[in-house]
Chains A and B, each alone.
Chain A
Amino acid sequence: MKHFSEEDLIAYQLHESSDEGAISTHLENCSECADLSESIAETLRVFSADPVPQPDLEHNWQRLRGNLRVLTPERPRGFELFRWRWAWPVAGLATAALILLTVFGTHIHRAGETRHNIAVNGHGPLTTEPTDPAIANHLDAAERLLTEVNNSSGPLDDATREQAHSLLLQNAVYVRNARNSGDLAEAAVLENFGRVLTTLDNEPPTSHSTWRLRLEMNTSGLLLDIRILRQNDDHSQGASQ
């Protein structure tokens, strides 16, 4: 008899499974899976919603209002006309810059891609030993930051840049730990991530910098590597329990 995995049963209990009917039928005939499913249901019951304290709206408004600056009204119409007169030359320059960056970026992109794809794909599973649990947090934060970088169309906001700076400081420690433990694949991915962070930390925030970073440093490829690392990290921790 084919049993369902823990993940399948969690999805079933959360009503996120696309195979609900088949799982339900299976649970009626398989005591092993039924026990596991009940254990998951019990977990969800134990971690059900606690009451949430109600905030004091007036107090919070007064606190917030003190920090609000007066926002600048929209630009006057005359400025818009002035801006549109320059639209064509600006568009021409932007197109030329785009072509140059594409040629330049593709070259670097290829070099970077080869390097870390070998690191991830050339060694099978990245880790087989349980790793430092704190790295799970680091990889989560890395994934969110890279997703933000990949999805942003303009310059990154101050909070994201601050987060990049903070991750940069931590990343060096994880690179060193990975090297010390002989996990060269993990070290290579984290080193690439460190390069992205260094660029983010040092480059002035312009409307093109995020876009160029994505292209030059292949952040989408790196994001995939980070996700693989995190999955391997998670599996190795699960196996240890």
Chain B
Amino acid sequence: MSNRRMDKAETEAIQHVLAGNRDAYRVLMERHFCSVTRVAFRITGNEADAEEAAQEAFLRAYNKLPSFRQDSTFSTWIMRITMNTAINLVERRNRDLSYRAPRISDEPSATDHTVKIADRQAGPEGVLLNREAAGLRQAAMAELTPMERTAFTLRHMEDIPMGEIAAALNVTTNSAKQAVFRAVSKLRRSLTPIAGGLR
């Protein structure tokens, strides 16, 4: 996300799309889909939902393209739409009692929305410890509200400035900061049982 002006290729692609050429949208998608999916993954916590949120964000952006005034870059705009879409998806998942939240299991699978990140250097014991640690981290992250999770992951993991996160979430910078602080505080408390008490 940056405030630099859009380059010529993106501006032209938008003009072509608005003139009725759907395939011109591919230029924008190829440039931004990876970063959009990355942010969506941070917010949703699993690959399947991240792709769904990214797809929905690109579709919403396409449908809103006629009203895109280009006073911000396409990347800033699509990122803002992505964050809102991903947060809404997480909220929908939370409401749907039949949905099983992402978690680590002994046998991770896509159908169960579980994630496994390969560690080729770890032995069997290391793999087990990695799984346990990942499970604890995911359980702690699941306790955060969608806004706290979004603000925390984007600030801490993606190193996005607080002002940009606030703009994307449509809240004040102070609100975004407070969300990050609350998240860190909650996560720290969640480590209490394994750290043997907070210092």
Contact = CB atoms under 8 A, between A and B. Distances in A.
Contacts of A151: 170
B189 A241 contact: yes
A114 B179 CA distance: 29
Nearest to B197: A39
Given A47-B156, A71-B65, A159-B60, A40 B184 contact: yes
A80 interface: no
A121 B143 CA distance: 30
B128 interface: no
A46 interface: yes
Contact-size category for A = 35 or more
A47 B51 contact: no
With a 10 A CB-CB cut-off, give which of B51, B65, B155, B162 has the most chain A CB atoms. Answer: B51
B19 A73 contact: yes
B181 interface: yes
B108 interface: no
Interface stretch (B1-9, B21-29, B70-78): B21-29
B191 A42 contact: yes
A10 B151 CA distance: 14
A48 interface: yes
Given A44-B184, A57-B33, A166-B95, A39 B55 contact: no
B129 interface: no
Contacts of A202: none
Interface residues of B, number: 73
Contact of A47 (B29, B37, B62, B187): B187
B59 A36 contact: no
B17 interface: yes
B88 to A, nearest CB: 6
Contacts of A159: 60, 84-85, 88
B185 A70 contact: no
Contacts of A28: none
A95 B25 CA distance: 40
B181 A52 contact: no
Contacts of A148: 170
Interface of B: 17-20, 22-23, 25-26, 29-30, 33-34, 37-38, 41-42, 47, 50-51, 54-55, 58-60, 62-67, 84-85, 87-88, 91, 94-95, 117, 133-134, 137, 140-141, 143, 145-148, 152, 155-158, 162, 169-171, 175, 177-182, 184-185, 187-189, 191, 195, 198-199
A-B pairs, top 4 by smallest CB distance, nearest first, are: A35-B199, A49-B157, A43-B188, A140-B147
